[in-house]
């Protein structure tokens, strides 16, 4: 049976695509376009309400602006969500939860930073307790700036993301695997060098064939050094972190 599957032309085309060559089968291109279109019109959004910008989401979801007409609806679990909305300033403690949540989402996944606080720290730019630039820790697909952005701006940002997904430009999720050492290094600067999460990002990068020379490095080496057995609930946070929580 597996040999028969390998002989299906579309499967062979996918292998060609992964190896960086140009596709030759027009049917595979049509199929690809259809998948991207459907993906962009059925987005489940995990709204992780981090700051004051979250107050603009209820009007964007309810009757006046009605986000659901675009195929976007809220989802309660990261496992089934496509988009992670970060709705304002991010404290260092909150950033840990954001990273844990992001890593649990299935790929492809997309991040939207709402509010100026996610772009450069906004009015909290001098605060010792907040992470200033969200994209240093996670790849961000779309920023919606403003303090706070109105629902029209939120809808406009979501439509931009839809266009990016259907045209194949929204590929920031791949960057997390391709440059994992960079993201992990920035996380370690904030949380300490023994920072770990339960998700094996390196194995996922291998699975998606997205390993590059920037996936592994001095920071991923620290993961191995501080490796601890997986503990339920505490999720390998350091002892210091557990005391703070
Ligand atoms: S940009 Fe303004 S509204 Fe948004 S989280 Fe920051 S302070 Fe709050």
Residues with CB under 6 A from ligand 1: 51-53, 88-89, 115-117, 122-123, 147-148
| Pocket mutation for ligand 1, best pick of 54, 87, 114, 122 (most atoms within 8 Å of C-beta) | 122
Instruction: Tell me the CA–centroid distance for residue 163 and ligand 1, in Å.
Output: 26
> In this predicted model, which residue has the larger pLDDT, 225 or 182?
182
Handedness of CA 158, 164, 168, 173 (dihedral sign): negative
Q: Residue 191 has what pLDDT?
A: 92
Q: Residue 21 has what pLDDT?
A: 55
Residue 114 in this model has a pLDDT that exceeds 70 = yes
Residue 111 in this model has a pLDDT that exceeds 50 = yes
Residue 5 in this model has a pLDDT that exceeds 60 = no
Residue 71 in this model has a pLDDT that exceeds 60 = yes
- This prediction's pTM: 0.82
Tokens 């890593």, residue?
103
Average pLDDT over residues 14-39: 70
Residue 16 in this model has a pLDDT that exceeds 80 = no
Query: What does the pLDDT look like over 165-219, one tens digit per residue?
Result: 988 888 899 999 999 999 999 999 999 988 988 888 999 999 999 999 999 999 9
DSSP secondary structure of 75-143: -S-GGG-SEEEEES-EEHHHHHHHHHHHHHSPSS-EEEEESHHHHH-GGGTT-TTEES-GGGTS--SEE
Instruction: Tell me the CA–centroid distance for residue 72 and ligand 1, in Å.
Output: 23
Q: CA 86 to CA 154: how far, in whole Å?
A: 12
Q: CA 106 to CA 46: how far, in whole Å?
A: 12
Residue 33 in this model has a pLDDT that exceeds 90 = no
Average pLDDT over residues 7-14: 51
Residue 18 binned pLDDT confidence (cut-offs 50, 70, 90): low
Return the residue whose CA atom lies nearest to atom 5 of ligand 1. Answer: 88
> Of 8-22, 64-78, 102-116, which gets the smallest average pLDDT?
8-22
Paired tokens of 128:
């010792």
Domains of the chain: 1-40 (no CATH), 45-169 (3.40.50.12280), 171-237 (no CATH)
| Pocket mutation for ligand 1, best pick of 48, 51, 118, 146 (most atoms within 8 Å of C-beta) | 51
Average pLDDT over residues 149-174: 92
Q: Which residues make Cβ contacts (< 8 Å) with residue 89, sequence separation at least 6?
A: 50, 51, 52, 115, 117, 118, 121, 122, 124, 127, 130
Ligand 1 atom closest to the Cα of residue 116 is: 1
| Pocket mutation for ligand 1, best pick of 119, 121, 123, 126 (most atoms within 8 Å of C-beta) | 123
Ligand 1 atom closest to the Cα of residue 148 is: 3
Q: Residue 87 has what pLDDT?
A: 92
Instruction: Tell me the CA–centroid distance for residue 49 and ligand 1, in Å.
Output: 12
Instruction: Tell me the CA–centroid distance for residue 243 and ligand 1, in Å.
Output: 29
Q: Residue 239 has what pLDDT?
A: 55
Residue 161 in this model has a pLDDT that exceeds 90 = yes
Q: What percent of the chain has pLDDT over 70?
A: 82
3-state SS, residue 212: coil
Q: Which residues make Cβ contacts (< 8 Å) with residue 157, sequence separation at least 6?
A: 112, 114, 142, 143, 144, 149
Q: Residue 32 has what pLDDT?
A: 81
Q: What is the mean pLDDT of the chain?
A: 84
């Amino acid at each position: 049976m597996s040999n028969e599957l390998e002989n299906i032309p579309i499967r062979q085309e996918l292998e060609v695509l992964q190896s960086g060559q140009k596709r030759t089968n027009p049917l595979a291109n049509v199929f690809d376009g259809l998948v991207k279109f459907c993906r962009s019109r059925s987005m489940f959004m995990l709204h992780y309400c981090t700051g004051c910008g979250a107050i603009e989401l209820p009007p964007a979801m309810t009757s006046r602006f009605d986000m659901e007409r675009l195929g976007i609806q809220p989802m309660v679990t990261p496992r089934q969500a496509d988009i992670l909305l970060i709705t304002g300033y991010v404290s260092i403690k909150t950033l840990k939860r954001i990273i844990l949540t992001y890593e649990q989402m299935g790929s492809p996944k997309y991040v939207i930073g709402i509010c100026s606080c996610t772009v450069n720290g906004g009015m909290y730019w001098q605060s010792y307790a907040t992470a200033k630039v969200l994209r240093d820790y996670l790849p961000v697909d779309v920023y919606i700036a403003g303090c706070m952005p109105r629902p029209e701006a939120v809808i406009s940002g979501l439509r931009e993301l839809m266009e990016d997904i259907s045209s194949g430009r929204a590929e920031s999720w791949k960057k997390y695997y391709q440059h994992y050492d960079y993201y992990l290094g920035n996380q370690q600067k904030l949380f300490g060098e023994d920072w770990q999460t339960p998700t094996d990002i390196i194995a996922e990068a291998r699975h998606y064939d997205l390993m590059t020379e920037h996936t592994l490095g001095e920071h991923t080496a620290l993961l191995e050094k501080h490796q601890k057995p997986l503990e339920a609930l505490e999720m390998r946070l350091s002892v210091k972190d557990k005391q703070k929580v």
